[in-house]
């Protein structure tokens, strides 16, 4: 059944995540479309909300093939099997990472401004997106959350490709995958939303600000 919009999808997803109440949680949204979904989850569970910005590291001369990912705080994941197969040298990895690190910092500033990142160390991280097609970015985000010190990583999405969802459930860095809809004839995330309009940087900033204000008042919405 289609979702009206990302907010409704987040509300329905939050209901499925209530079993996490009582844990030390942080909700990490993949920007930008994951933020409205994650906002509803963070509000319902009374958890802090932040964005998790990652950049995939593409193999030189074959950039669509990911050989790793980077995140904030120097977080870095390298797939040794891919780098060995593609014969990527340490110097090449360094060059790719330097370029992607600059893009990462620019995107973080655009979305979060000067607000410091929320620590995930020792906590349960709920990584949220508005859906997964290939799942590669969600997988990278979960891996980065683990490297940043999350003791438990939960991936939560309203809808996803059955093949991708199954593959992610087998990932050692992901403890739990909650997906409301994994239809056999999946073709695109947008087909499961009546309103799938683009989420702007301004909306992301506004939702992060609202979540921070609610957290400071200690009044999560029921």
State the CATH number of the domain containing residue 162. 3.40.50.2020
The verdict on residue 182 lying in a domain is: yes
Q: How far apart are CA 126 and CA 143, in angstroms?
A: 12
Instruction: State how many domains the chain has.
Output: 1
CB-count exposure of residue 20 (10 Å: 0-12, 13-18, 19+): buried
CB-count exposure of residue 36 (10 Å: 0-12, 13-18, 19+): buried
pLDDT in tens, 101-143: 999 999 999 999 888 999 999 999 999 999 999 898 999 999 9
pLDDT value of position 81: 93
> Would you place residue 216 in the very low, low, confident or very high pLDDT band (cuts 50, 70, 90)?
confident
The verdict on residue 216 lying in a domain is: no
**Number of alpha carbons in the 13 Å side-chain half-sphere of residue 5:** 9
Q: How far apart are CA 88 and CA 137, in angstroms?
A: 21
> Would you place residue 2 in the very low, low, confident or very high pLDDT band (cuts 50, 70, 90)?
confident
- Distances from the Cα of 13 to the Cαs of 30, 36, 40, 42, in angstroms? 15, 12, 9, 11
Q: Where are the beta strands (DSSP E) in the chain?
A: 25-29, 49-51, 55-59, 62-70, 76-78, 124-128, 152-159, 176-181
The verdict on residue 222 lying in a domain is: no
Question: Model-level pTM greater than 0.75?
Answer: yes
The verdict on residue 221 lying in a domain is: no
pLDDT value of position 220: 45
Statement: residue 222 has pLDDT above 70 = no
pLDDT in tens, 86-107: 999 999 999 999 999 999 999 9
pLDDT in tens, 6-41: 999 999 999 999 999 999 999 999 999 999 999 999
Statement: residue 219 has pLDDT above 60 = no
CB-count exposure of residue 82 (10 Å: 0-12, 13-18, 19+): middle
The verdict on residue 80 lying in a domain is: yes
Domain that holds residue 190: 1-211
The verdict on residue 217 lying in a domain is: no
Mean pLDDT of all residues in 163-187: 95
Mean pLDDT of all residues in 196-208: 96
pLDDT value of position 221: 42
The verdict on residue 71 lying in a domain is: yes
The verdict on residue 220 lying in a domain is: no
Statement: residue 202 has pLDDT above 50 = yes
Q: How far apart are CA 165 and CA 148, in angstroms?
A: 23
pLDDT in tens, 45-77: 999 999 999 999 999 999 989 999 999 989 999
């Amino acid at each position: 059944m289609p979702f009206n919009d990302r907010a409704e999808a987040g509300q329905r997803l939050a209901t499925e995540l209530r079993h996490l109440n009582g844990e030390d949680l942080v909700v990490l949204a993949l920007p930008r479309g994951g933020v409205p979904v994650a906002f509803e989850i963070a509000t319902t569970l009374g958890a802090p909300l932040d964005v998790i910005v990652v950049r995939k590291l593409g193999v030189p001369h074959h950039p669509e093939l990911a050989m790793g990912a980077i995140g904030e705080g120097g977080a870095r994941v390298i797939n040794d099997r891919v780098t060995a197969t593609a014969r990527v040298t340490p110097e090449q990895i360094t060059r790719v990472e330097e370029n992607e690190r600059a893009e990462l910092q620019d995107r973080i500033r655009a979305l979060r401004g000067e607000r410091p990142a929320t620590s995930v160390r020792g906590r349960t991280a709920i990584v949220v997106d508005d859906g997964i097609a290939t799942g590669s970015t969600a997988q990278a985000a979960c891996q980065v959350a683990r490297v940043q010190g999350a003791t438990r990583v939960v991936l939560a999405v309203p809808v996803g490709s059955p093949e991708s969802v199954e593959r992610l459930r087998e990932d050692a860095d992901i403890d739990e995958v909650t997906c409301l809809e994994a239809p056999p004839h999946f073709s695109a995330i947008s087909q499961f939303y009546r309103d799938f309009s683009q989420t702007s940087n301004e909306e992301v900033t506004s939702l992060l600000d609202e979540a921070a204000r609610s957290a400071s008042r200690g009044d999560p919405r029921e």
